[in-house]
Amino acid sequence: MNKLVYLPVFAAVIFTAAIGCKRNSEEVVYKPLVFDKEQEVKFTPISDEILFGGPARICKIGDYFAVLYYQRDSVPTFLHVFNKSGQKMGDYIPEGRGPKEGLMIMEIQNIGSDIILNDLQQKKAMSASLDSSGNVSISENQRDRKQWMINSFRIGENYLNYFAPGPYIKENRPPRLDLESSQGYRIATFYSSPLDYTDPMLRFKLDAGGCSQSLSPNGKHFVITYYDASIIELFTIDRSIKETYRGYFYPPKFKVVGTKVEPEEDRIWAFNALHAANSYVFASYDGDLASAKKKIRSNNITVFDWNGHALRLLKTDYRVDAICYSEEDGTIYAVITDESGRHYLGKLKIDLP
Amino acid sequence: MKKLFLITIATALMAGGAFAAKFSSRNETSKLFKSNVEALADGEYTVFGHCKEESTYCFAICPNCGAEYWASGHGGGSYNMSGNCQLCNHQF
């Protein structure tokens, strides 16, 4: 009889141990990032110094570059068009609350000869069309933006939305990603996160303001990288959102103190500028400790294929603040910064498999 | 009696030291936020913090309601955010 009493206790111990083993087996293993080839390369500046302020994005449209950066001026502007020789053709979208003005534009998306710009604060999307002479016409439409939506990309008539829900939201949390029809209903959702195992406040900090997202021009591939954690996620988008690769290379190093997330000295600076091309992913990368004393940070460019294969580590001579790749001429175009903090447009011819 | 007196003095000194240390630390924090006031105060908001210049942009989101605050012209992720959200009045 006494032995029978101990039986449920024994079963509970076995069950707990089994759960523990399962959790351990699911623990993430970080492996150093290893590239097929590492090479030292040099950018060629193609413009005069530009009055750059973050955020920055660049895309090549025919013989022109559309560049997003906040230009501190008497009338600050967000969108800037350069020709292929690096001469500025015009500044567009002044800061303000009026028509064709912006307040908080952090992302541009290139679709054909159009640039889509989302203003997070004014909940509107603007479209800038470039003609073959480099003239720009701007239109805008109001778009209802859901709570916790940080970024949005247009795919045909649909939208791929990126969310970073707050740490206090326990019920009805939005997904990390959803594919939304033009009528506003959800076609597909994606919830899983590489940061599921960490503190909700830390996850929020990294998801909300600590990562970049990019959609390939053909709308089929999507990528997320983190500034302070060497993690990359690749997705295929096709009426569904399928994660095809998740690479863990170096963990985030933050401590959560109350409601604050404080960076630790032994964290590394990971990915920065991000660009999804149809065939490859390009991301500028630092790879050193935050405390490292270097003249230039984030001067490396990593190149991945869409299977997560790390193809190249290009060690450049400038900090890379924004990046795009032209498949036409096999050239990277970027907003670059020299050791003295001067900013330019630059180009870099590369050879990829 | 003498022993009790010494213990009282020692306790008072320790309490004073702890208070001074806390006050000094608070001053340091205050200095940190003041030195970075421009970070997220370009608009009419009351959110302060620290921007990592080398990254692509710097912005913060109220963890309670999702309101966005950004530092126009600054780069980088944001750290040690502090402030009062104007939309939901949440202090973070």
* ipTM score of complex: 0.71
Q: State how far residue B81 is from chain A, nearest Cα, in angstroms.
A: 7
- Closest residue of B to A256, CA-based? B80
Helices and strands (H and E) in chain A: how many? 2, 27
Predicted confidence band at B80 (pLDDT cuts at 50, 70, 90)? low
In order, the DSSP letters of A87-138 are: -EEEEEEEBSSSTT-BS-EEEEEEETTEEEEEETTTTEEEEEEE-TT--EEE
Contacts for B12 with CB less than 8 Å, ≥ 6 apart: none
Which residue in the set B52, B72, B82 is minimally distant from A70, CB to CB? B72
Per-residue pLDDT at A136 = 95
Predicted confidence band at A58 (pLDDT cuts at 50, 70, 90)? very high
Per-residue pLDDT at A8 = 56
Query: A314 - beta bridge partners?
Result: A39, A301
Query: For residue range A62-109, what is the model confidence (pLDDT) as tens digits?
Result: 999 999 988 877 888 999 999 999 999 999 999 888 999 998 888 899
Q: Between these two residues, A348 and A50, which has the higher pLDDT value?
A: A348
| Residue A162 to residue A197: CA distance in whole angstroms | 20
Per-residue pLDDT at A35 = 97
Tell me the chain B residues in contact with residue A288 when contact means C-beta distances shorter than 8 Å. none
CATH number of A2-349: 2.120.10.30
Domain chopping of chain B, boundaries: 1-35, 38-92
Q: Do A227 and B81 make contact, defined as CB atoms within 8 angstroms?
A: no
Query: B56 - beta bridge partners?
Result: none
Predicted confidence band at B89 (pLDDT cuts at 50, 70, 90)? confident
Predicted confidence band at A9 (pLDDT cuts at 50, 70, 90)? low
Closest of B46, B50, B45 to residue B74, by C-alpha: B50
Within 10 Å of residue B55's Cβ, how many Cβ atoms? 28
pLDDT greater than 50 at residue A274: yes
pLDDT greater than 50 at residue A21: no
**Dihedral sign for Cα atoms in the order A152, A153, A154, A155:** negative
Amino acid in position A308: G
In order, the DSSP letters of A22-45 are: HHHHT---------SEEEE---EE
| Residue A136 to residue A81: CA distance in whole angstroms | 9
Query: For residue range B5-62, what is the model confidence (pLDDT) as tens digits?
Result: 555 555 555 545 444 443 343 333 333 333 333 334 444 445 666 666 544 456 778 8
State the number of CA atoms in the 13 A half-sphere of A106 facing the CB: 32
Strands across the sheet containing A44-45: A44-45, A343-349, A331-337, A319-326
Helix (H, G, I), strand (E, B) or coil at A142: strand
The runs of H, that is alpha helices, within chain A are 2-25, 200-209
pLDDT greater than 60 at residue A152: yes
Average the pLDDT over A254-262 and give the result: 80
- Interface test mutation site (partner A, options B44, B55, B65, max chain A beta carbons within 10 A): B55
Which residue in the set A76, A168, A263 is minimally distant from B63, CB to CB? A168
Q: Which residue has the tokens 């966005």?
A: B68
**Contact indicator for B81, B56 with CB cutoff of 8 Å:** no
Torsion angle in degrees (nearest 10) through CA of A206, A211, A216, A221: -30
Q: Do A272 and B64 make contact, defined as CB atoms within 8 angstroms?
A: no
Average the pLDDT over A192-219 and give the result: 88
Within 10 Å of residue A30's Cβ, how many Cβ atoms? 13
Per-residue pLDDT at A247 = 97
Q: Do B63 and A204 make contact, defined as CB atoms within 8 angstroms?
A: yes
How many interchain CB pairs under 8 A, A with B? 93
The per-residue pLDDT of chain A, averaged, comes to 88
Q: Do B59 and A209 make contact, defined as CB atoms within 8 angstroms?
A: yes
